[in-house]
């Protein structure tokens, strides 16, 4: 009888250990709707999208990265990692040679099928707006074996965004912003992630949500809308006054504009954990515009 209880106790212990072992396993649902099982916390991670790289690092798992895509350049430590090509031309052989146990890629990457056929574990994620970003952070945190870190990161980000929102001076609050993402001109609308961040900061947008996230606008629209504040890359903002008909824009005349250099620009246009940094950049810009308002503002 004693041996039977002993056996049962050992059996139960074994069962408990097995069950505990099972809690390591993560089930992640990626952008393709596929469920990917990750039996153990991955130690060699390859990321093929800058925002995913940034997410991994923000989750304090930077040291687990063994390779990234060509365009991942933040934080500085990833610059020394092997670069495995861009979206279209991933270097499959090199990637496989790194023996990763998890590959993070955008859903549109052409390499996914090939990598999966070669037996690698691929999770396809691509954050396109604020909501996506949260989901992606959570999924990656889960995949890396530390769901709590994801929640913590998100909360930190929210806190930073709230802090940035608090810094926005009352004089510029609720003013209409025109954010140009590319020439000819493409603007960031309310429904884009940039637009969502601006909304969080209490700013308005000349481009309503109905026009989509990044519409190509008739330049007349911008002139008619007479935005209070203009934002864009340094080059774009510099050449705006020369555009036909844009001389009447008050924001240009009164110099109520922010031009972002290419480093900060990346943070602004990439949805990912740097959204908080983006919010801070935007807040810095708005603070700098807190000048004595003119009479007819």
Partner 1 sequence: MKATLDTPHTRAARAWPEATLLGLGLAALALLLGVAGLAAGSEGWSLAWLHGSQDEWSLVTAIRAPRTVGALLTGGLLGLAGAIAQGLFRNPLADPYLLGSAAGAGLGVVLVLAAGGVLGHYIGLATADWLLRVGLVGAAFVGAVVGVALTLMLARGTARPIVLLLAGVVVGIVLSSISELITLVSPEALRGKQIFMLGTTSFLGWSSCVVLGVVLVPAAALAWRYARALDALVLGEASAASLGLQLPRVRLLLVALMALATGTAVAQAGLVAFVGLVAPHIVRRLVVVTHGPLLLLSAAAGAVLLLAADVAARSVIAPQELPVGVLTAVLGGLYLLVLLRRRQLQA
211 lies in the binding site for partner 1 (CB under 8 A): yes
Q: Rounded distance, CA 194 to CA 198, Å?
A: 6
Cα four-point dihedral sign 87, 88, 92, 94 = negative
Contact call for residues 90 and 112 (beta carbons, < 8 A):
no
- The dihedral region occupied by 145, where left means phi > 0, alpha psi between -120 and 50, and beta the remainder, is left
Of residues 29 and 246, the one with the C-beta less far from partner 1: 246
- State in angstroms the smallest separation of the CB of 270 from partner 1: 11
Task: Lay out the site mask for partner 1 across 174-193 (x = CB under 8 A, - = otherwise).
Answer: --------xxxxx-------
- State in angstroms the smallest separation of the CB of 47 from partner 1: 17
Q: Rounded distance, CA 49 to CA 30, Å?
A: 14
- State in angstroms the smallest separation of the CB of 65 from partner 1: 21
Q: Which of 212, 253, 255, 290 binds partner 1 (CB under 8 A)?
A: 212
Of residues 93 and 220, the one with the C-beta less far from partner 1: 220
Nearest to 250 by CA among 169, 174, 176, 168: 176
Taking contact as CB under 8 A, which single stretch among the options 17-25, 142-150, 232-240, 250-258 is the one that binds partner 1? 232-240
Task: Indicate the DSSP class of residue 294.
Answer: P
Q: Which of 261, 287, 291, 293 binds partner 1 (CB under 8 A)?
A: 261
CA distances from 143 to 28, 211, 293 (A): 6, 36, 50
Nearest to 207 by CA among 198, 25, 184, 98: 198
Taking contact as CB under 8 A, which single stretch among the options 35-43, 190-198, 242-250, 289-297 is the one that binds partner 1? 242-250
Site residues for partner 1, 56-85, by CB under 8 A, read: 70-71
- The dihedral region occupied by 147, where left means phi > 0, alpha psi between -120 and 50, and beta the remainder, is alpha
Site residues for partner 1, 81-110, by CB under 8 A, read: 86, 89
Residues of this chain that interact with partner 1 (CB under 8 A) are: 70-71, 86, 89, 182-186, 211-212, 215-221, 223-224, 234-235, 238-239, 243-245, 247-248, 261-262
């Amino acid at each position: 009888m004693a041996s039977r209880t002993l056996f049962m106790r050992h059996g139960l212990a074994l069962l408990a250990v097995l069950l505990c072992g099972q809690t390591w396993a993560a089930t992640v649902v990626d952008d393709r709707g596929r469920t990917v099982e990750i039996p153990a916390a991955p130690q060699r991670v390859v990321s093929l999208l800058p925002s995913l790289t940034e997410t991994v690092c923000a989750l304090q798992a930077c040291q687990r990265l063994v390779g990234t895509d060509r365009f991942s350049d933040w934080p500085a430590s990833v610059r020394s990692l092997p670069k495995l090509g861009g979206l279209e031309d991933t270097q499959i052989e090199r990637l496989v040679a790194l023996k990763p146990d998890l590959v993070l890629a955008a859903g549109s990457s052409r390499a996914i099928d090939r990598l999966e056929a070669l037996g690698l574990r691929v999770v396809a994620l691509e954050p396109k707006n604020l909501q996506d970003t949260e989901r992606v952070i959570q999924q990656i945190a889960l995949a890396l074996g530390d769901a709590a870190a994801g929640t913590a990161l998100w909360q930190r980000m929210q806190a930073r965004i709230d802090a940035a929102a608090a810094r926005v001076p009352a004089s510029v609050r609720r003013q209409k912003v025109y954010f140009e993402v590319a020439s000819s001109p493409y603007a960031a609308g309310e429904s884009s992630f940039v637009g969502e961040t601006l909304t969080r900061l209490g700013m308005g947008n000349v481009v309503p949500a109905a026009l989509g996230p990044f519409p190509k606008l008739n330049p007349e629209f911008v002139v008619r809308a007479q935005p209070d504040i203009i934002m864009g890359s340094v080059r774009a903002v510099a050449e705006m006054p020369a555009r036909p008909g844009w001389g009447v824009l008050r924001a240009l005349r009164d110099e109520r504009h922010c031009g972002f250099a290419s480093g900060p620009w990346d943070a602004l246009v990439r949805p990912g954990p740097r959204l908080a940094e983006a919010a801070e950049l935007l807040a810095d810009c708005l603070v700098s515009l807190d000048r004595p308002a003119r009479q007819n503002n």
